[in-house]
Amino acid sequence: MTSLDYATMFRLDGRHAVVVGCGGIGGEIAAGLAAQGARVSCLDKDPATAEAVRDGLADHQTRAHAAYPVDVLDPASVGRVAEDLGDVDVLVLTAATNVRKRVLDYSAEEFDRVVGLNLRATFDVVRAFAPRMVERGSGSIVALTSIRAVVVEPGQGVYAATKAGVTQLVKTLSAELGPSGVRINAVAPGVVETPLTEQIRADEAWGRAYAEKSALGRWARPEEMVGAVCWLASDAASFVTGSQVMVDGGWTAIDGRFTPPFG
């Protein structure tokens, strides 16, 4: 007889989920986790963003959700919040930045800024939250990476390097934390309509080329990232760790933008 209840295995009732980075995709993920029954703590550098997302969760359940200002570039700040939050069942990391330049045009400051937020902060946040999961023998961590972890284009080199680095951290942590019952996975979005991609979408030809690169022929909406995260957070993914789930509309499955004629 299975130990999983198929009727509830996607539910997160009674679990405490923390979302780090609540703008755009992060806000939708927080809403999705709450809709599945989790109590959600919203963490963001901008207190107003964290509070707005928390307040938007009020209709999902009567439990008290929380909002915390936290600068993920400050390990001490992250550590204090992790201590305040206590036991955490689900940790989702979404914070990221990009400077779209060719590598030879990058300044050292720009390199440090992108690596610091995308890679170093992932390292620091996991180190702050994972030990208590290890002590309890359970937990699910989900890091958002990108299609750029596996495919790249001019101007995306440093960003891509950080996302590939996060992917390798996820794999290593899955090996190190797995024996303690803690799972860690990545969700890799394709092109998503967020403030980070506004520059691309503002250029009609550029935006259309990106849309046509995927099998579905369009950009993703932020809410389309939620299902993969909620699945990985839940018991439905109880034997999934060290994986990177591509939520890219088929971008990485297709070679080039040309559709050849048939017949």
> Which amino acids are annotated catalytic?
159
Nearest Cα residue to 82 out of 96, 63, 68, 94: 68
CB-CB neighbours of 253 under 10 Å: 10
DSSP the chain: --SS-TTTTT--TT-EEEEE--STHHHHHHHHHHHTT-EEEEEESSHHHHHHHHHHTTTT-SS--EEEE--TT-HHHHHHHHHHH---SEEEE---------GGG--HHHHHHHHIIIIIHHHHHHHHHHHHHHHHT-EEEEEE--GGGT---TT-HHHHHHHHHHHHHHHHHHHHHGGGTEEEEEEEE-SB-SGGGHHHHTSHHHHHHHHHHSTT-SPBPGGGGHHHHHHHHSGGGTT--S-EEEESTTGGGS-SS------
What is the Cα–Cα distance from 157 to 189, expressed in whole angstroms?
17
